[in-house]
Amino acid sequence: MLATEKIVGFAPITDATRAKSFYGDKLGLKFVSEDSFAVVFDANGTMLRLTLMKKVEPQGFTILGWQVPDIVATVTRLQEAGVTFERYGDFMKQDELGIWAAPGGTKVAWFKDPDGNTLSVSQH
């Protein structure tokens, strides 16, 4: 029933100005609108509503991810924009950029937004 409908992504934030700077300036998403409930971005045709909350309790998993054609180039550009990638120590073998190669060949790198939400880029 919903297979042909557009999906909307949601993520919690506490500060609209800080979120606009991170998602717009650092990640390069197109700002759409802002009201007292959310800051909205266009993420390549997908609406991303960053919902304003009094408090954000980050989850222990990735809440948003982008599939990219060249993860090394993407991670490099994001680092140049000021994004810091997560390191998981001996738990996951990551390269010098913070990219983990899964046994099946997928490559993933994780980073956090200003509210501590875990985001990722991956190459499949």
Over residues 84-105, the pLDDT tens digits come to: 999 998 778 999 999 999 999 9
Sheet holding 107-112, edge to edge: 62-67, 118-123, 107-112, 100-101
- Average pLDDT score over residue span 35-49: 97
Task: For residue 87, give both structure tokens.
Answer: 């390191």
* CA geometry: angle 119, 35, 26, nearest 5 deg: 35
CATH architecture of 8-123: Roll (3.10)
Please tell me the predicted confidence (pLDDT) of residue 61.
96
Contact of 122 with 108, CB cutoff 8 Å? yes
Mean pLDDT computed over 15-27: 98
- Residue given tokens 């054609």 in the structure block: 69
What digits encode the pLDDT tens for the residues 68-78? 999 999 999 99
Instruction: Report in angstroms the alpha-carbon separations of 15 from 55, 112, 124.
Output: 10, 15, 33
pLDDT digits (tens, 9 = 90+) for 54-64: 999 999 999 99
Torsion sign, CA atoms 16, 18, 19, 23:
positive
Q: What band does 49 get if pLDDT is binned at 50, 70 and 90?
A: very high
Per-domain residue ranges of the chain: 8-123
